[in-house]
């Protein structure tokens, strides 16, 4: 072996060991800094000597190249679902069926993780493939994404000729909250629950995105094995632990169903305090030979059953109704309750969703109510016991001003939500700043979400205007930054001051005002001062600006804290004027709508769209009879076919360049 080859092997073994100690054993032996230093050294060596890089190197944890699709995978051992029980009686029926064949059967009981079931295969101790369950017979190859989960061993302790295991990928609750906060801050749809988040993250075409999602896994079953003899489930779990897998922790054996049900009840009591979601408990026959004899039906094995916990309800009293302001400005009412214990945890607050929900159920302060954990996660008031009313209960009304910042609260027509309109609202601060610095807005390089969080935590900024009053010295002192990064950030802030006016308007985060609307508004009003005095009637005269959009703009400029924000922006030297001219000489595409499809040779689609809009035209994402031109590049697909079927003019890139000369 050459020296680089030896060092790569040493680093790989050390990193795999420390990765397991940190993520599986929860007993780290070195600091994050030391781990990162070794990983960086390995990355450099692998880049210089790619011939020595293992397909299962620790460096693949950060994600490889994105794919365009997932290949289909046939499961040699069907990944079946489980029959369900909702009562102890149904469990006893299952027990009678088992004991009719095997009177001495013993059971194991496990948490039923609420996630996404996957298969992982190894050959000679090396990871070779990971796939989704799919319909149980055919799944999808998601190997690159599975590799990013740090609790999945890429190399086993023993060189087993072949091993296929089944596990459940899940997203811990703290990761779920972190990911949703980031999605909210960038105006993207949030995940409904951790299970959906895990599923969506695991099926990303770009593994780098999966790597950022903090997924975890519990491995709970051996599907196939060659090279070792395993006779029971508990023996299998011990074997899997020795190989490096993170398994369901409790592997006790129960001689009767009564004992098993006691364990189910214990799991039910602790589920509220877990760091991940479970949606039940699973009872399995422990002995593999018995399992084989019991067999399977067309849908599920006869040797296992899943117990689903009933939604637990408790009665309590609403002591107050308070408001929580979310990162998007939505005011969510919360009921403050006399503390009750539900599903293993103490509940003193419950969501009331929105004002319509309060009105529909006629929930009042002082009411006796029934509280339930929706999906066993979020407490909610589901019923009012009106016969217990004394007459002293108080109706709740939404305030006119935000409880966090005092800005006006508005409710748009057709929406259930009430929203704060303040750009300086502490609850919305992070989201506003992330949007303001985004590429399509002020385009301030070097200001990612983590840096913004640091700036806010250190009280260096309260809103986006404060960015222009930072200094390089204080930025250089921040974590993972230095003088060079600080200088680059200051230069990016300085460049952003010369942005066209529409970028600033878009960056303000006015509800319903996207980039296109910002452009036409900037062209019409020319300055921020002119826009401050705009009326709803004037704004709706502009093409592409409707009544809801116009009302949002007017409401935004009515708010005093937003006016103060803009004064500080202007004082910092940020451009607040549209100097692009009236556009009279460049309106050749006035009233024309273009659709762009395929790959252009000389332009990005966004660049071609900007040219069209500068010349007075509009772009659309779909082809219709109202489309004037379809600009088609290489590999144009369905949009080109639709244009031809509708008789819409199709132009090439060369023809487009002739039109814009």
Annotated ligand binding at 110? The verdict is yes
Token pair listed for 52: 């020595």
402 labelled binding-site residue: yes
Backbone angles phi, psi at 387, to 5 degrees: -70, -15
Query: Is residue 72 annotated as involved in ligand binding?
Result: no
Query: According to the annotation, is 284 in a ligand binding site?
Result: yes
| Three-state SS at 138 | strand
Q: 35 among the known binding-site residues?
A: yes
Non-local CB neighbours of 495 within 8 Å, separated by 6+ positions:
none
CA 429 – CA 462 distance, rounded (Å): 7
Residue 425, annotated ligand binder?
Answer: yes
Q: Measured between alpha carbons, how far is residue 621 from residues 168, 557, 591, 659 in Å?
A: 38, 31, 16, 21
Element spanning 269, H or E: helix 257-270
Q: Is 81 annotated as a binding residue?
A: yes
Rounded CA-CA distance 549/510 in Å is 9
Q: Any known ligand binding at 133? A: yes
36 is in an annotated binding site: yes
Q: Who contacts 642 (Cβ-Cβ below 8 Å, separation ≥6)? A: 623, 648
Catalytic-residue membership of 88: no
Q: What is the DSSP string of 387-419?
A: GG--S--B-----SB-TTT--BEE--TT-S--E
Which one of the listed residues 53, 72, 84, 112 is annotated catalytic? Answer: 112
Q: N- to C-terminal Cα distance for the chain? A: 62
3-state SS string over 3-41?
HHHHHHHHHHHHHHHHHHHHHCCCCCCCCHHHHHHHHHH
Spacing of C-alpha 31 from chain mean position: 28
Distance CA 98, CA 90 (A): 13
Nearest to 238 by CA among 254, 222, 256: 222
How many Cβ atoms sit within 10 Å of the Cβ of residue 571? Answer: 11
Q: Which helix (H) or strand (E) holds 316?
A: strand 313-325
Cα gap 122→245, rounded to integer Å:
12
Do 145 and 118 contact (CB within 8 A), yes or no? Answer: no
Reference 157, options 110, 109, 227, 223; nearest CA is 227
Is residue 561 within 8 A of residue 405, CB to CB? The reply is yes
Q: Is 576 annotated as a binding residue?
A: no
d(CA 494, CA 419): 33
Q: Are 451 and 494 a contacting pair, CB within 8 Å?
A: no
- How many angstroms separate the CA atoms of 30 and 32, rounded? 7
635 HSE (CA, 13 A, CB side)? 3
Three-class DSSP category at 119: strand
DSSP reduced 3-state for 376: coil
Secondary-structure breakdown of the chain: helix, strand, coil percentages, each rounded to the nearest 5: 40, 20, 40
One-letter-per-residue 3-state SS of 94-111: HHHHHHCCCCCCCEEEEE
Q: Which residues contact 397 (CB under 8 A, 6 or more apart)?
A: none
Residue 82 is assigned to a ligand binding site: yes
Is 413 annotated among the ligand-binding residues?
Answer: no
CA distance 278 to 139: 23
Q: Which letter does DSSP use for residue 161 in this model?
A: S
The annotation places the binding site for NAD(+) at: 32-36, 81-82, 110, 133, 168, 284, 308
Residues belonging to the active site? 112
The annotation places the binding site for Zn(2+) at: 402, 405, 420, 425
């Amino acid at each position: 072996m050459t020296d680089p080859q030896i060092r790569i092997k040493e680093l790989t073994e050390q990193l795999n060991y420390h990765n397991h100690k940190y993520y599986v054993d929860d007993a780290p032996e070195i600091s994050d800094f030391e781990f990162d230093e070794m990983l960086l050294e390995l990355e450099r060596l692998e880049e210089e000597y790619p011939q020595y890089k293992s397909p299962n190197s620790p460096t693949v944890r950060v994600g490889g190249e994105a794919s365009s699709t997932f290949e289909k995978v046939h499961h040699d051992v069907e990944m079946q679902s489980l029959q369900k029980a909702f009562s102890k009686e149904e469990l006893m029926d299952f027990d009678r069926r088992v004991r009719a064949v095997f009177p001495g059967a013993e059971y194991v009981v496990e948490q039923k993780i609420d996630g996404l079931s996957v298969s992982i295969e190894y050959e000679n101790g090396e990871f070779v493939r990971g796939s989704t369950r799919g319909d149980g017979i055919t799944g999808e190859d998601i190997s690159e994404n599975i590799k990013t989960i740090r609790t999945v061993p890429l190399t086993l302790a023993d060189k087993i000729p072949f091993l296929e295991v089944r596990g459940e990928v899940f997203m811990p609750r703290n990761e779920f909250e972190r990911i949703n906060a980031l999605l909210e801050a960038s105006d993207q749809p949030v995940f409904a629950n951790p299970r959906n988040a895990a599923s969506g993250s695991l099926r990303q075409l770009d593994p780098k995105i999966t790597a950022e999602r903090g997924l975890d896994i519990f491995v709970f079953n051996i599907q196939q094995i060659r090279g070792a003899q395993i006779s029971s489930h508990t023996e299998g779990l011990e074997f899997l632990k020795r190989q490096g897998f993170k398994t369901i922790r409790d592997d006790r054996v129960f001689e009767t169903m009564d004992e098993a049900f006691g364990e189910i009840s214990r799991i039910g009591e602790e589920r509220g305090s877990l760091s991940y979601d479970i949606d039940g408990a699973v009872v399995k026959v422990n002995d593999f030979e018995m399992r084989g004899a019991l067999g399977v039906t067309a849908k599920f094995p006869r040797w296992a059953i899943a117990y689903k916990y009933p939604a637990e309800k408790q009665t309590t009293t609403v002591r107050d109704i308070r408001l929580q302001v979310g990162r998007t400005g939505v005011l969510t009412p919360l009921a403050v309750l006399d503390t009750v214990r539900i599903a293993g945890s103490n509940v003193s607050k419950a969501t009331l969703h929105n004002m319509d929900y309060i009105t529909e159920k006629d929930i009042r302060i002082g009411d006796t109510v029934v509280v339930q954990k929706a999906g066993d996660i979020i407490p909610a008031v589901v019923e009012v016991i009106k016969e217990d009313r004394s007459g002293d209960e108080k109706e709740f009304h939404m305030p006119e001003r935000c409880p966090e910042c005092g800005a006006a609260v508005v409710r748009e027509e057709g929406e259930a939500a009430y929203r704060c309109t303040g750009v300086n609202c502490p609850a919305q601060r992070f989201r506003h700043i992330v949007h303001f610095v985004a590429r399509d807005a002020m385009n301030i390089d070097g200001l990612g979400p983590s840096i913004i969080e640091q700036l806010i935590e250190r009280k260096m900024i309260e809103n986006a205007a404060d960015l222009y009053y930072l200094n390089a010295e204080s930025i250089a002192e921040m974590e993972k930054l230095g003088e060079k990064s600080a200088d680059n950030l200051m230069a990016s802030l300085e460049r952003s001051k010369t942005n066209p006016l529409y970028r600033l308007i878009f960056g303000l985060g006015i509800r319903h005002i996207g980039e296109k609307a910002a452009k036409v508004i900037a062209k019409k009003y020319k300055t921020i001062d002119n826009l401050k005095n705009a009326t709803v009637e004037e704004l709706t005269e502009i093409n592409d600006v409707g009544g809801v959009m116009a009302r949002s703009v007017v409401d935004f400029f009515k708010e005093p804290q937003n006016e103060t924000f803009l004064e500080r922006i202007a004082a910092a030297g940020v451009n607040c004027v549209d100097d692009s001219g009236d556009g009279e000489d460049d309106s050749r595409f006035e009233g024309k709508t273009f659709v762009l499809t395929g790959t252009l040779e000389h332009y990005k689609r966004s660049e071609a769209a900007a040219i069209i809009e500068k010349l007075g035209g509009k772009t659309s994402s779909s082809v219709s009879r109202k489309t004037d031109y379809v600009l088609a590049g290489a590999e144009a697909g369905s949009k080109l076919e639709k244009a031809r079927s509708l008789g819409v003019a199709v132009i090439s890139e060369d023809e487009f360049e002739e039109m814009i000369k």
